[in-house]
Structure 1
Amino acid sequence: MKRRYPSELPELDILEYSLKFITTNVVPILLIILYGMTIGNLTNVLLTLLSFSLLRMFSGGYHIRSPELCIATSVTLIISISEFGHLLKEYTTIMNLASLLLVLLYSPSNIRMQTLIPKKYDTLLKVSSCVIIIINIYINNIFICVALLAQSLLLIRPLKGGEKE
């Protein structure tokens, strides 16, 4: 495309970054929303997607190296939680407390390579992550609860010999 329209298109690296961003972020979100609309479960899908994403933004977590596998895993996880989260309703308190404990112990996790946020803000990121979970303890929504627990579990990163975060 760049050879065909050299003056109309931005630099190749900007174009490549934009296409990668769209395929790894926008497409999965649109697929998840479309699924929610199709089956009439949009509210639960959006609650799950937004709560998972919000906590992930502040807490970090494990990243799958392959973009394709990451997309498939993320879409499957969000849809599964929005469909089957209600089955865990009786464990809401335990899951909220487990999420809070995991965030206290492990957040922020694996965030240095993913953002430009300086290390001096780690305490603020941890407190923000805890506040998100505490808000759900008050709201008491099972779909938010399961999404927050799933994200909290992604914070756990066993350290290899001598490694420090």
Structure 2
Amino acid sequence: MKRLIDALASKIAVKLKEANPEETASVEVMKFALFGIIHNTLTFATALIVGLCLGQLLETLIAAFSFMILRFVSGGYHFKTPLSCLLFSSFVFVTIPFIPVNDLWFWVINSLTLLLVLIFAPSNIREHIRISEKFFPLFKVISVILVVVSLLLHNPIVTLAFFIQAITLITFRKEVSAS
């Protein structure tokens, strides 16, 4: 799947460069951006098609959008292959609407989500985003604000999507001694 997306992104980038060589970024830069756009579009489309088939289109859309918006500012774990990411993400987006959340669990899950975001966000973001590290504290603030807003929305789908995304923030780094 990676090769397929890579080939498509490369073809589009070359065509864009040929169409406007002066005002476009390098082919490599456009290819990198297009790869992400194509991959995210495929993931989103897969989840929405399955959600539609299961009669949960709107709920799946809310789950996917919630997960992705928090992920954009908080970062998180990245699978080794695009296919693994697509399958996991689609599964999560489609499954969330079927998980019941009572009032007690709503507060517990939101509290845990807030704690995870406060401790770990942004996580694993350096290699995946082209923004200066001076903005990383702002990403944490935005992540916290999103979780607080989810409390106000009192929507179990948003709550679960944010929680699962917050779990991907957890990193276990092995310290290597310099001696």
Taking structure 1 as the reference length, the TM-score comes to 0.84
Work out the CA distance in 2 between the residues paired with 1:118 and 1:17: 18
Match of 1:4 in 2: none
Q: Secondary structure at the match of 1:108?
A: coil
Q: Return the letter of the residue paired with 2:101.
A: L
Work out the CA distance in 2 between the residues paired with 1:42 and 1:145: 18
Unaligned runs of 5+ in 2: 1-6, 8-13, 18-26
Stretch deviating more after TM superposition (94-103 or 24-33): 24-33
Match of 2:123 in 1: 109
Match of 1:33 in 2: 48
Match of 1:155 in 2: 169
- Alpha-carbon RMSD across the aligned residues, in angstroms, is 2.5
| 1:74 counterpart = 2:81 | no
Stretch deviating more after TM superposition (11-20 or 67-76): 11-20
Match of 1:5 in 2: none
Q: Return the letter of the residue paired with 1:36.
A: G
Q: Return the letter of the residue paired with 1:120.
A: K
Match of 1:94 in 2: 108
Work out the CA distance in 2 between the residues paired with 1:124 and 1:17: 25
Matched pairs, number: 156
Taking structure 2 as the reference length, the TM-score comes to 0.77
Match of 1:146 in 2: 160
Identity within the alignment, %:
28
Post-superposition shift, 1:28? 1.5
Q: Secondary structure at the match of 1:65?
A: coil
Stretch deviating more after TM superposition (152-161 or 20-29): 20-29
Post-superposition shift, 1:9? 3.7
| 1:136 counterpart = 2:150 | yes
Q: 2:58 aligns with which of 39, 43, 49?
A: 43
Q: Deviations over 1:133-159 (max 9, x none)?
A: 000101110010000000000000012
Work out the CA distance in 1 between the residues paired with 2:167 and 2:33: 30
Work out the CA distance in 2 between the residues paired with 1:156 and 1:17: 26
Relative contact order higher in (CA < 8 Å, ≥ 6 apart): 1
From the superposition, tell whether residues 140 and 18 of structure 1 become closer, same or farther in structure 2 (CA, over 3 Å). closer
Work out the CA distance in 1 between the residues paired with 2:44 and 2:146: 21
Q: Return the letter of the residue paired with 1:133.
A: V
Unaligned runs of 5+ in 1: 2-7
